[in-house]
Amino acid sequence: MRTIPIAPVASAFSDCEESGIVPKQNLPLARREFLKGSGILMGTLAAGSVLAGLAPSTVWAVELKTLSQAEGETLMAMARTIYPHKKLPDAVYAILAKDLDGAASGSADTANMLREGVSNLNSMAGGNFKKASDAKKLAIVKGLEGSTFFGAVRGQCVTSVYNNDMAFAVFGFPGSAWEKGGYITRGFQDLKWLPAPPKSASPSAYMG
């Protein structure tokens, strides 16, 4: 799992479950050096959301090196159509745009493929994919299933959208357990809505 510098790191979220203490992280804001890039994706974490409640600032920003801001935003909208999660902030889908931008920076063919795909999305939406209704977006993306462009974006979503600190926090997966001593004393058998199995099937834990 990666930490990309637009959000607090995972341990910040997972620790608080136990201790109630929330270590604050510094979210980098748009700085002068961003202007060297080809585009900037920016946004704010919704006030009151699980992430905003933990972060010292709600503003996030991601720099693109090859794709334009509009292209990045269109890819984000496509990702939200492929894996629609109301609970996930745009910041998570921005990771997808950043990762695809990284691939585009490494290969002109990939850059062209993504640009063509984005322009295709827009023309099928009659000009602006981002502004289309959810139903229209879904119909357009469905029509692209099986294409290289769709495959590249969906495939990248699997790691970009889900394998990051914010997604872990939103979906409730605490990540690495080793440094916290595992779950032997932290609820590995705390489920109460079903009866506990007998000791013959599930013996007590050895506690020394």
Partner 1 sequence: MASIAFNDDSAVVIIGSGAGGGTLANELCQKGIKVVVLEAGARQSPQSFVNDEWKSFGQLAWLDPRTTSGTWRVAKDFSGLPAWICKTVGGSTTHWAGASLRLQEHEFRAKTVYGDIKGANLLDWPITLSELEPYYAKAENKMGVTRTNGIPGLPGNNNFKVMYAGAKKMGYKEVHTGNMAINSQPRDGRGRCMQLGFCFQGCKSGAKWSTLYTEIPKAEATGNLDLRPESHVTRIEHNDKGLVSGVVYFDKDGKEQRQKARVVCVAGNSIETPRLLLLSASNMFADGLANSSGQVGRNYMRHMTGSVYAAFKDPVHMYRGTTMAGIIRDESFHNPKRGFVGGYEMETLSLGLAFMPAFLDPGAWGAEYAWWMDHYTNLAGMWLVGEDMPRETNRITLNTNVKDKWGSPVPNVHFDDHENDIVMRNHAFTQGERIYQAAGAIKTYRTPPYPSTHNLGTCRISANARDGVANKWGQTHDIPNLFISDGSQFTTGGAENPTLTIVSLAIRQADYIAKQITERAI
Distance, CA of 5 to CA of 31 (rounded, Å)? 13
Q: Per rule CB under 8 A, is residue 202 in the interface with partner 1?
A: yes
| Residues touching partner 1, count (CB under 8 A) | 45
Q: Per rule CB under 8 A, is residue 12 in the interface with partner 1?
A: no
Cβ–Cβ < 8 Å for 61, 26? no
Structure tokens at 147: 């294409």
Q: Per rule CB under 8 A, is residue 154 in the interface with partner 1?
A: yes
Q: Which residues contact 8 (CB under 8 A, 6 or more apart)?
A: 23, 24, 25, 27, 51, 54, 55, 165
Residue type, 82: I
**CA-closest candidate to residue 83, choices 158, 192, 9:** 158
Q: Which of 5, 53, 84, 106 binds partner 1 (CB under 8 A)?
A: 84
Site string for partner 1, 96-135 (x = CB under 8 A): ----------------------------------------
Q: Per rule CB under 8 A, is residue 5 in the interface with partner 1?
A: no
List contacts with partner 1 (CB under 8 A). Answer: 1, 82-85, 87, 138, 154, 157-159, 161-163, 167-168, 171-173, 175-178, 181-184, 186-191, 193-197, 200-206
